[in-house]
Amino acid sequence: MHKISEPTLILNETICKDNIWKMVSRVSQWNGDFRPHFKTHQSAVVGEWFRSVGVERITVSSFAMANYFAANGWKDITVALTSTVLNADVINELSSKINLNIIVEDEESIKLLEKQLSYPVGLFIKVDGGYHRTGVDADDLPRIKKLKEPLKESKNLIFMGFLIHAGNTYYARSQEQLEEIVKPQLEKVLALKTFLKDDFPLLQISWGDTPSCSMYSGFYGIDEFRPGNFVYYDYTQVQIGSCELKDIAVCMAVPVLALHPERNEIVVHGGAVHLSKDRVELSDGSISFGKAVVMNGLTWDVNCEIGEVKSLSQEHGIIKADETVIRELKPGDVIGIIPVHSCLTANLMKELLCTDGNFIDMIK
C-alpha cells in the first residue's frame, strides 16, 4: 500500500463511477444528449469510465484540454470557452482531425474566424440567461439576429445553436432557490429556440452546470447537458445541496505537522498549492477552505469529522478543531481534507491516487 508522506489527492473510484452513472440516468430522463464537461477531472483514465457507459461527446474549457482529449481518442469535443481569432490555428489543427464545436459571442470574431478557418466547425453562440459572467443576453433578440446573420452564408462556421452556463446556480442554498434561478433562464433559452426555429430547425440548446443537473427535475426542450463537477463533487456542492458529503469522490490526504490544542488548531502540510485558495461560506456564515475528516489508510470517513480548514498559505493548512479531537492526533498522522472546489484541486495536483493504490494520470 502506498505510504502517504506528502499531500496526495485520493480518488474513490466506486463513488466516482456511481456519480457518473447517476448523471447518465438523470440526463436520459430529459431526452437530451449528455456531453459531460471534462474540466474537472482532466484525465484520460476517468474519461474512459465515461466512455464505458456510452459517452462519446465531451466538453472542455480550453484548447489545451481539447488537444489532450483528442490525443486520447475523443472525436467530438466542444470547447466551452469563448473563441476569438487568436485561436484560429489551434481550431484548424483540431478540426482537421475531430468534430469540433466552438463558442463565440461577437460579430467581429465570427467574421475573422470565417476568413481563417480551413475546416467546418460547429459554432454555438454563448448566451447569458442571468448569470452575467459573459455571453449575449438571451433576450437581446436584435443582437442575436445580427450575430447569426453572417452564419447563414458561412462556409466553415456551422451554426449549431445556443450554449448557456447558468453559473448563478452556485449561489443557491436550497432546492427552492435553485429552481428560482433555473426557471427563468430555461424559459429564455427555450423562447430563443421558438423564435429561430423557422430559420434554423435543427438549432440546439446546450445547458450545463452541476447544481441544476443534480437538483432540477423539470428540464424539457434542452438538447444537451454539460455538467462537469459532479464527477467528483465537492464541499461547495454540499452547501448548494447538489450532493451529500458521502458523494464526494476525492479527498486530499495531508500529513499533520503540528498541533496547537491551546488555540484549537491543527497544522497540516496541505496548502494553496494543493487545495487552491477557493473558499465556501458555510450555513453559519463562516468561511471554510475544506472539511477535515479521519482517514484510514487510503479511505476517508465523512462521518468522522475533525474540523474546518480556516486558512491556507502556500504549503500549510490550519484546521480549527475541538481540543479533544486534537489530543488524539500526533505529528506524522495523516488526515483527509474534502476540497471546497474539486476542479481547482485536481488541476493543481495533476495526478490522483486511487483507493486501490494505483495512480491515475491527468493532463500535464
141 near a second copy, rule: CB under 8 A: no
At its nearest, how many Å lie between a second copy and the CB of residue 73? 23
- Which CB atom, from 32 or from 353, has the smaller least distance to a second copy? 353
**The one segment of 1-9, 175-183, 216-224, 241-249 that binds a second copy by CB under 8 A:** 1-9
- Which CB atom, from 13 or from 107, has the smaller least distance to a second copy? 107
Which cell is 88 given? 484560429
At its nearest, how many Å lie between a second copy and the CB of residue 331? 5
129 near a second copy, rule: CB under 8 A: no
Q: Are strands 359-361 and 351-354 parallel, antiparallel or unpaired?
A: antiparallel
Single residue of 135, 161, 227, 307 touching a second copy by CB under 8 A: 135
| Footprint on residues 33-92 left by a second copy (CB under 8 A) | 39, 61-64, 81-82, 84-87, 89-90
- Which CB atom, from 274 or from 291, has the smaller least distance to a second copy? 274
Q: How far, in Å, CA of 320 to CA of 331, rounded?
A: 16
At its nearest, how many Å lie between a second copy and the CB of residue 70? 16
354 near a second copy, rule: CB under 8 A: no
Q: How far, in Å, CA of 278 to CA of 341, rounded?
A: 7
Judged by CB under 8 A, how many residues of this single chain contact a second copy? Answer: 56
What are the distances in angstroms from CA 309 to CA 163, 198, 239, 244, 260?
A: 36, 54, 15, 19, 14
108 near a second copy, rule: CB under 8 A: yes
316 near a second copy, rule: CB under 8 A: yes
- Which CB atom, from 82 or from 177, has the smaller least distance to a second copy? 82
237 near a second copy, rule: CB under 8 A: no
SS (H, E, C) the chain: CCCCCCCEEEECHHHHHHHHHHHHHHHHHCCCEECCECCCCCCHHHHHHHHCCCCCCEEECCHHHHHHHHHCCCCEEEEEEECCHHHHHHHHHHHCCCEEEEEECCHHHHHHHHHHCCCCEEEEEEEECCCCCCCEECCCHHHHHHHHHHHHCCCCEEEEEEEECCHHHHHCCCHHHHHHHHHHHHHHHHHHHHHHCCCCCCCEEEECCHHHHHHCCCCCCCCEECCCHHHCCCHHHHHHCCCCHHHCCEEEEEEEEEEEHHHCEEEEECCHHHHCCCCEECCCCCEECEEEEEEECCEEEEEEEEEEEEEECCCEEEEEECHHHHCCCCCCCEEEEEECCHHHHHHHHCEEEECCCCEEECCC
Dihedral sign for Cα atoms in the order 41, 44, 50, 56: positive
At its nearest, how many Å lie between a second copy and the CB of residue 314? 6
- Convert residues 279-298 into a mask of x (bound to a second copy by CB under 8 A) and - (unbound): x-------------------
Other C-beta atoms closer than 10 Å to the C-beta of 164 total 27
- Which CB atom, from 9 or from 259, has the smaller least distance to a second copy? 259
| Footprint on residues 243-282 left by a second copy (CB under 8 A) | 255-260, 263, 267, 269, 272-273, 276-279
Single residue of 95, 109, 169, 204 touching a second copy by CB under 8 A: 109
**The one segment of 143-151, 216-224, 237-245, 312-320 that binds a second copy by CB under 8 A:** 312-320
- Which CB atom, from 152 or from 364, has the smaller least distance to a second copy? 364
**The one segment of 23-31, 108-116, 149-157, 299-307 that binds a second copy by CB under 8 A:** 108-116
Q: How far, in Å, CA of 210 to CA of 345, rounded?
A: 17
At its nearest, how many Å lie between a second copy and the CB of residue 5? 4
Single residue of 76, 106, 179, 305 touching a second copy by CB under 8 A: 106
At its nearest, how many Å lie between a second copy and the CB of residue 273? 5
Residue numbers at the binding site for a second copy (CB under 8 A): 3-6, 39, 61-64, 81-82, 84-87, 89-90, 105-106, 108-109, 112, 132-135, 167, 255-260, 263, 267, 269, 272-273, 276-279, 313-316, 318, 330-332, 334, 343-344, 347-348, 364
